[in-house]
Amino acid sequence: MNLLETIALNLRSASSIAVLTGAGVSTASGIPDFRSSEGLWSEDQTREYYMSSHYFSYNPEDFWKKYKAIFRIKLLKNYHPNKVHHFLQELESDERDVSIITQNVDGLHEKAGSSQIVEYHGTLNHASCPKCGKKFSLDYVMNQPVPSCSHCHCVLKPDVVLFGDLITAHEEAEKMITQADFLLVLGTSLLVTPFSLLAEQACRHPALSTAIINNEPTGKDHLFDYVVHQDLSAAVDTLRELVS
């Protein structure tokens, strides 16, 4: 039995699956992987400075200009779920819960129809007023060079976790993992903390089987029961056949 067959067996038998997903899940949808060895973050390290809560407070007008350019937000509606997103949704059934904890901010898991999602780093799909908390849609955000609240007239802040912001979804994500029978990690290098800590904590849990599928080796591979280095779309094609 090869590794994908073993992973498929775990997926079929588990009543609760937790899935950690990273940028590699969305690359087949045309969205760049910002943190891979060839990702966009490696092109210009100053992006971390510009995409920070500090810079948003210091120069919100220029922040919004750079934010829209860096995340190619104008193109967001052109992106659609790919076979990986759809496969995870298809795993859901009356007998099986699937909880997705994603680093991705593109909203494609929700668009694919998955029902239990923690967007660990937030979402590009809306922004909020820092003063009154009112949320505004992507259409609203795109219709203004510097979007502001229609009520307070404050400059809106994106609902993504900027550098310097606190992660608020960690406890919810931890709870999903502790309730699972099987942890599947897809398309992430596990370089970013505290997201990477979720995998580390899960892999120390003796009753939880764990697997990672990623195109490249990661520094956390040794923690997992099953490790597959393969194109994610190809691996999912195989898993779909084995699980169905």
Catalytic (active-site) positions? 121
Q: Are 146 and 64 in contact (CB under 8 A)?
A: yes
**Please, which residues have CB within 8 angstroms of residue 127's CB and are 6 or more apart in sequence?**
135, 136, 140, 141, 147, 156, 157, 158, 159
> Which residues on neighbouring strands pair with residue 70, listed in sequence order?
none
Cα–Cα distance, 26 to 124 (Å, whole number): 14
Q: Are 6 and 240 in contact (CB under 8 A)?
A: no
Cα–Cα distance, 199 to 196 (Å, whole number): 5
Q: Is 149 annotated as a binding residue?
A: yes
Q: Is 132 annotated as a binding residue?
A: yes
CB count, 10 Å around CB of 51? 21
Q: Is 203 annotated as a binding residue?
A: no
Q: Is 129 annotated as a binding residue?
A: yes
What are the start-end ranges of the E strands in 89-225?
Answer: 97-102, 116-119, 122-128, 135-137, 157-160, 182-186, 209-214
* Binding-site residues from annotation: 129, 132, 149, 152
* Binding-site residues from annotation for Zn(2+): 129, 132, 149, 152
